[in-house]
Amino acid sequence: MPDRNPFTVEEARTFVARVESLFMPWNIEGLLAGFTDDCIVRFGDMPEFRGKAALEKLFRSRSERQKDYRLRKQFRALMGDTIANYWEGEWEDRLTGAKMAGRGVEIWGMRDGKIAVWEAAFNTNQAGKPSAMGLS
């Protein structure tokens, strides 16, 4: 990845596609290389954490639990040093055997061509089940 932030929509779209490719199959070293050493992560309902060591723990935990993870990311916006994307994914939960699905939005604050702040809001549920939010 370049050592400067994506400057154009096409560069940002390419960056999002590159990140997507690193999840299938899981390339944890490649994913970590795309983050700053002092990255800040706000991932779902987890407490905020910082740094690559904590991020590696998250990626390893997810890769162990999410069997046959299939991910699709779509670039949504580029504004200054911020990239937004939408994603959808499916996997099998290794602990329960349940087929799972999720979707969400990510905001990436970029610095020197790497993700410095990762904010991810998303919902997951068993595939084909009613909404986990209790709504119809």
Q: For position 114, which CATH number holds?
A: 3.10.450.50
Q: What's the pLDDT score for residue 54?
A: 98
- Whether residue 42 is contained in a domain is answered as yes
Bridge partners of 12, per DSSP, are none
**Is this model's pTM higher than 0.95 or not?**
no
Number of domains the chain contains: 1
Host domain of residue 116: 9-126
Banded pLDDT at 135 (limits 50, 70, 90): confident
CA 83-30-85 angle, to 5 degrees, is 20
First-residue to last-residue Cα distance in the chain: 43
Handedness of CA 33, 108, 79, 13 (dihedral sign): positive
Question: At 85, which helix (H) or strand (E)?
Answer: strand 82-93
- Whether residue 100 is contained in a domain is answered as yes
- Whether residue 45 is contained in a domain is answered as yes
